[in-house]
Amino acid sequence: SQTLMAAIVAALREYATLRALGVSSSSLRAVILEQSLWVGLAGLVITAAVGALLVVAARHAHIALEVPLWGCVATGTLVLGIALLSGLSALRELNQAEPSTLLR
C-alpha cells in the first residue's frame, strides 16, 4: 500500500492536469483502482514465486510443509482487497487536492 500511495502522490500533478482538462472523477477513479489492482497482482505473483521456492527448499531439506489451497486463496483475496482500499485512500488524497494549486 505504501508503494501504491507513493506512486499516486507522485502523479498528483498529472491527475490534476487531467481533472483540469475535464476528465471525469469516475474515469480517474477507474484509472487509480486499476493501478492498485495491478500493484496487488504484481505483489501476488512475486509472493507466489518466493513461496513456491520456499516450499521446494523445505521439501528438499525433508521438512514436512503443507500449504492449503484455501489459505492461499484467502490470502490473495485479502491482499487484493487491501490494494484496492489503498487505491481508494489515495483517491481521497487526489479529491482533496486543488487542481489550481497542483498546476503551478
**DSSP three-state, residue 5:** helix
Split into its structural domains, the chain has a count of 1
Residue 103's pLDDT is what?
A: 64
Per-residue pLDDT tens listing for the chain (104 residues): 677 777 777 887 788 788 878 888 889 889 888 988 998 899 899 999 999 999 999 999 999 888 899 999 999 999 999 988 888 887 887 777 666 666 66
Query: Is residue 97 packed enough to be buried (19+ CB in 10 Å), middle (13-18) or exposed (0-12)?
Result: middle
Residue 13's pLDDT is what?
A: 78
pTM of the predicted model, to two decimals?
0.76
Q: Cα 82 from chain centroid?
A: 8
Q: In the numeric block, which cell numbers belong to residue 26? A: 469516475
Domain assignment of residue 73, given as a range: 2-102
